Amino acid sequence: VLEGPCCCSSAIGLCMVPIRVDVVERAISEVLTAARAKPRRFLESVELQFSFRDHDVQRDKRFSGSIDLPNRARPNLKVCLLGNAQHCEEAARLGISFRSVEDLRKLHRNKKLVKRLLKSYHHFLTSQDLITHIPRLFGPEACIRIFPTVVSLTDDLEAKVAEIQSRVKFRSARL
């Protein structure tokens, strides 16, 4: 929906009109040609904002969700596997950062070491049999900060990491 000249008697003089597909495709191609013409030293991104028609803010206070995109939206997202021996071997073979149970026991619930580990990664995966041991290994404050994604023995780690990197979360914001 784009802002356009008002077709009704709106107080602000603008109203929302539907977007045409050809306009969006033309705008995307213009952005891509401009990006190719003058390459930058950083990753360029486009911010998308939209509003819902007939959404009552008083009744529906908040909503949130996530969408899995076909491409990796965040390829630089650092993921760490907290796993058993089988998952650690697979993660080492794939080049994914991992911590074994012995590595986690060395932390001894030391708050500084746990905080340093939690800050160094964006997302955590954990083996299915370790999910109950996370509060005992890290302490109670770590369970509040992270909520690891559970990986079963039959799951493909590479596909799971790709899924996490391509997931985009959204939530409503009050203006």
Alpha carbon distance 80, 87 (integer Å): 11
**Taking the complete model, does pTM exceed 0.75, yes or no?**
no
The answer to whether 151 and 128 are in contact (CB under 8 A) is yes
pLDDT in tens, 52-91: 677 676 776 677 788 888 888 888 899 999 988 999 999 9
What is the rounded average pLDDT for all residues in the chain?
80
Length of the chain: 175
In 69-129 the beta strands, taken as DSSP E runs, fall at 79-82, 97-99, 123-127
First to last CA, the chain: 18
Alpha carbon distance 155, 173 (integer Å): 35
pLDDT score, position 163: 92
* Adjacent-strand bridge partners of 125: 81, 149
* The two three-digit tokens of residue 99, written as one number: 């911590």
For residue 139, count other CB atoms closer than 10 A to its CB.
16
Minimal CA–CA distance to 143: which of 75, 82, 54, 90? 82
Minimal CA–CA distance to 108: which of 131, 139, 145? 139
Minimal CA–CA distance to 146: which of 170, 168, 130? 130
pLDDT band at 143 (very low <50, low <70, confident <90, very high): low
pLDDT band at 142 (very low <50, low <70, confident <90, very high): low
